Amino acid sequence: MKREIIIKRTLTKAGVLSLTLAVLTLCLLCCSEKSAYAAPPVFDHPPTPACGSTLSVAPGDTLSFTVQASDPDPEVVALVAFGLPPGATMTPGLPTYGNPVSSTFSWTPTAADLGTTRVITFLAVDSQFPHERTSCTISVKVEEVVCLPPVFDHPPTPPCGSTLSVAPGDTLCFKVQASADPSQTVCLTATGLPVGATMAPGLPTCGNPVSSDFCWTPTAADVGTHSITFTAATDEDETCKVQCTINVEVKEVGKCPHTIGFWKTHPADWPVTSLTLGCETYDQSELLGILNTSSWGDASLILARQLIAAKLSIANGSDPAPVAAVIAHADSLLCGFPGKLPYNVRTFTATGRAMVADSRTLDRYNNGVLTPNCVP
C-alpha cells in the first residue's frame, strides 16, 4: 500500500519564515494488514450439516458428523466450538488449524439427556488481521427416534422365507426391491450370496425404491440349500432396517423315467427284482406277467402297469417328487382289494375312474413330461 506523508512545519523568527518540508512517498508493506477484497472462511456443505439444522439422536445411540471449513484466500483457518455437550468429542481436538480444516463430532447421550437440545456454535477464523470469522450453529436434540423401516415389495421380491428350486446347469433369476417413505433413501445389501451369483446393479445400491436382479447358474457341486439374506436400511439410520431371507435349493437332477415298453423288454436293467403294488408284493416274473397282460377293460391292470414302470424308474434314480402323492393314492386304491392282481375293476365305476385318472398321471411321468430337467 502506498502512503504519501507530507510534513509541513512553519517557523517564525524575526518575521515570518515558512519552512515546508515535504517527505516523499513511502511504500509500506505490512503483513498484519489485508486487502479490502479478502474473503471470510466458509463452512463446506457437505460434509458439514446445514447451518441452523437440528439433528436427532436417541439415548444410547451415537451421533457423529464432520464439520469442515476453508478459506478461498491462502490463509490458515482456525476451527473452534462453543456449547459442546458433556461427553462429546471432537477429533482432532479443538482448536485445530488448516485450510481446509475439519473435525468430527461424536456423542452418545444418556437417558439423563432425554428431552434436551444442545446448541453448538462452530467458529471458523482466518489468520490475517483483522480476523475474518464465520459461524455455523447446529442443534442436537435428544429424543426417542421412531424408526420407520423400509419394506420389501412383493412382487417383484419373492416371499420372504420362500424356497426357490433350480437344477445344476439351469439359471435362476429374480428381482429384489425395497422402498420407504419418500423422504428417505434406501440402501440394499446381501449376505450369503453363492459363489458365481451376480446382482445387477451390484450391491450395495441405494435409491427409493431400490432394486437389484439376482442371477445364478449353479453347478453339480452346488447341490443343497443356500440361504441369502437381503437387508434394506435407510441411509440416515443404518439400524432402521428390515431383512428378507430367500432360500435357493439346488436339486440333484434325477435320471429320466422309462416307459412300460422299456421295462418289459429290458428285465436285465431292472434295479430291483420285486415291488409292492397296493398291499401285495410281486416278484419279477409276476411283474413281467402283468406288464405283458392286456389291460383292456380292467382299471386295476391299467393302473398296475403304469405303477410298475413308475416304481422301477424311481428305484433307478428318477425324481419321485412329481408323482409321490399319486403313487400313494394308487397303492391305497389297490389295497382295497384282497389278494393279488388282477381285480377286474370296470373303468366306468367310481373306483375304476380314480384308477384310470392316476394311471394317466403316471403315464405322463413315465414319458418324461413331469421331469423336464432329467438326464438319460
Domain ranges within the chain, ordered by starting residue? 42-142, 151-250, 260-366
Fold (CATH) for 42-142: Immunoglobulin-like (2.60.40)
Q: What is the pLDDT of residue 12?
A: 39
Start-to-end C-alpha separation, the chain: 97
DSSP 202-219: PSSEEESSEEEEEEE---
d(CA 255, CA 262): 14
Per-residue pLDDT of 72-93, as tens digits, reads 888 899 999 999 999 999 999 9
Tell me what the pLDDT averaged over the chain comes to: 88
d(CA 211, CA 209): 7
Output phi, psi for 27, to 5 deg.
-105, 115
Per-residue pLDDT of 164-179, as tens digits, reads 999 888 899 999 999 9
d(CA 251, CA 321): 11
Fold (CATH) for 151-250: Immunoglobulin-like (2.60.40)
Per-residue pLDDT of 174-232, as tens digits, reads 999 999 988 889 999 999 999 999 999 999 999 999 999 999 999 989 999 999 999 99
d(CA 355, CA 357): 5
Instruction: Give percent of the chain with pLDDT exceeding 70.
Output: 89
List the one residue out of 240, 185, 239, 244 whose CA is nearest residue 209: 185
280-289 contacts, C-beta under 8 A, 24 or more apart: 280/334, 280/339, 280/340, 280/341, 282/340, 282/341, 286/340, 288/264
42-142 matches 151-250 in fold: yes
